[in-house]
C-alpha cells in the first residue's frame, strides 16, 4: 500500500513516522520546503520528544515525482488546502484522501479534486525543530470517518486506520466523526487566538482569569452552532482546555507560532468559520466574529509597506 502525506510539517510528520515503521507501507511525502525534504531524504525523518525514532520517507518538493497512491493524508494549513490539492490531485486518481487539518471547510475543497474523501481530526501536536526533525509534543486520539457527500468506503477508512494503529497511532475509525471534529474546532477557536493575542502558551493563558473567561464564552458560542447543526460533541471543549493546561502547559498554540513568525493564520477556518455559520443560522457569535476581525487586523499590521504612507 502506498500512502502520501501532503504537508510534511509537524502533524504530517507524526503520521508519516507512524506509517514509516511498517514494512508493508510505502510512505511518500509532498512538502514545498526543500531543506526539510532534502534532510528527510538524506537522513530519514526523525521524531524527538514523546517519540524517539528515525524512519525512511520518500519526500519530494515536486508532486509530479510522486507515483499514484492508495491513500493521502493532508496535514497542510487550511489556507494551503487548495494549492496543495491542485498539486497532488493526480496522485489520487483512484485513491482516498484524509484530512487531519484544523477548522472546517477542508473536506469540501478536497472533494473537488479526488474521488473519495475521509473526514478526520487529530489531537497530537508537535513542532519542527530543524529540517528533517520534528519534536513530538503531545499525544492523543485521531478520529476518521467517511465524508459526505463524497465518501470513502468504511472499508477504506478501516484499512487506513489499521495501518496507522499498527504504526503506533491512536486512531478511532467511525461512521461519523463530525462530533470529534467540532470538539476540536471549538477547542482550537478558544485556545489558538487567545494564545496568539496574549503571546502566552496554552497553560499560562488558561491561568489568566480574564483570558480563561473569554475562552469559555468562545466555547459557548461554538457549542450553540454545533447544537443547531445537530452535531453531538465528542466531549466538552471547555473541559479540554483544562486538560490541555495539565498536559501541555508550555505548548504554544499553532496560531501563536504563526503570529510570532508573522505568517497568515488559520483564523478564517476556526473562529471565522463559526462566525460565518452563526450568521447563516441566525445565532449570535459576537466574540468569535470579534476575535476573527482582530486577528485579521494583526495580520495586516505586518504588511507595513501597504499602510505606512496611507493618509485619510
Distance of CA 48 to the CA centre of its chain: 20
Per-residue pLDDT tens over the stretch 171-181? 999 999 999 99
Of 231, 220, 233, the C-alpha closest to 283 is 220
- Residue 27 pairs with which residues in a beta bridge? 3
Residue in this structure with the C-alpha cell 505568517, named with its chain if needed: 263
Position 251 scores a pLDDT of 86
User: How is the beta sheet containing 71-74 ordered, strand by strand?
Assistant: 58-60, 26-30, 2-6, 71-74, 96-99, 116-122, 142-146, 171-173
Directed axis angle between helix 271-281 and helix 209-228, to 10°? 50
In CATH, the number for domain 178-301 is 1.10.1040.10
Please determine, for residue 37, whether its predicted confidence score (pLDDT) is greater than 90: yes
Nearest of 144, 79, 133 to residue 106 by alpha carbon:
79
CATH homologous superfamily for 2-173?
Answer: NAD(P)-binding Rossmann-like Domain (3.40.50.720)
pLDDT digits (tens, 9 = 90+) for 247-271: 889 988 999 999 999 999 999 999 9
What is the average pLDDT value for the chain, to the nearest integer? 96
Q: Is the pLDDT of residue 125 over 90?
A: no
Q: Rounded distance, CA 188 to CA 102, Å? A: 8
Across the range 30-42, mean pLDDT stands at: 97
Residue 272: the pLDDT is 98
Residues 185-191: what's their mean pLDDT? 97
In the 8-state DSSP scheme, what is residue 151?
A: B
Once rounded to an integer, what is the mean pLDDT over residues 128-157?
A: 95
CA angle 227, 96, 65 (to 5 degrees): 135
Give residue-wise pLDDT tens across range 67-107.
999 999 999 999 999 999 999 999 999 999 999 999 999 99
**Domains in the chain: boundaries:** 2-173, 178-301
What band does 311 get if pLDDT is binned at 50, 70 and 90?
confident
Q: Are strands 53-55 and 45-49 parallel, antiparallel or unpaired?
A: antiparallel
137: confidence class by pLDDT, cuts 50, 70, 90? confident
Q: Please report the pLDDT score of residue 305 as a whole number.
A: 86
Amino acid at each position: 500500500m502506498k500512502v502520501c502525506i501532503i504537508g510534511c510539517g509537524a502533524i504530517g510528520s507524526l503520521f508519516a513516522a507512524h506509517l514509516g515503521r511498517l514494512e508493508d507501507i510505502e510512505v511518500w511525502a509532498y512538502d514545498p520546503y526543500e531543506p526539510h525534504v532534502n534532510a528527510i531524504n538524506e537522513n530519514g525523518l526523525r521524531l524527538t520528544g514523546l517519540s524517539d525514532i528515525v524512519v525512511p520517507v520518500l519526500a519530494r518538493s515536486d508532486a509530479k515525482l510522486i507515483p499514484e497512491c492508495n491513500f493521502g493524508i493532508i496535514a497542510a494549513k487550511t489556507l494551503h488546502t487548495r494549492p496543495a490539492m491542485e498539486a497532488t490531485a493526480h496522485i489520487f486518481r483512484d485513491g482516498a484522501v484524509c484530512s487531519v487539518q484544523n477548522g472546517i471547510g477542508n473536506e469540501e475543497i478536497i472533494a473537488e479534486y479526488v474521488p473519495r474523501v475521509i473526514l478526520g481530526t487529530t489531537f497530537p501536536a508537535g513542532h519542527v525543530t530543524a529540517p528533517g526533525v520534528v519534536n513530538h509534543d503531545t499525544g492523543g486520539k485521531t478520529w476518521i470517518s467517511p465524508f459526505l457527500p463524497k465518501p470513502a468506503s468504511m472499508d477504506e477508512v478501516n484499512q487506513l486506520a489499521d495501518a496507522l494503529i499498527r504504526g503506533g497511532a491512536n486512531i478511532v475509525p467511525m461512521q461519523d466523526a463530525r462530533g470529534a471534529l467540532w470538539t476540536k474546532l471549538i477547542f482550537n477557536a478558544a485556545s489558538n487566538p487567545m494564545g496568539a493575542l496574549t503571546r502566552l502558551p496554552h497553560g499560562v493563558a488558561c491561568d489568566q482569569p480574564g483570558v480563561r473567561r473569554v475562552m469559555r464564552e468562545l466555547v459557548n458560542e461554538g457549542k450553540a452552532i454545533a447544537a443547531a447543526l445537530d452535531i453531538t460533541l465528542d466531549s466538552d471543549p471547555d473541559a479540554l482546555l483544562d486538560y490541555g493546561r495539565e498536559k501541555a502547559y508550555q505548548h504554544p498554540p499553532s496560531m501563536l507560532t504563526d503570529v510570532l513568525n508573522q505568517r497568515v493564520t488559520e483564523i478564517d477556518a476556526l473562529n471565522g468559520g463559526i462566525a460565518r455559520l452563526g450568521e447563516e443560522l441566525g445565532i449570535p457569535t459576537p466574540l468569535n466574529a470579534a476575535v476573527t476581525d482582530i486577528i485579521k487586523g494583526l495580520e495586516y499590521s505586518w504588511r507595513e509597506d501597504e499602510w505606512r504612507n496611507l493618509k485619510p
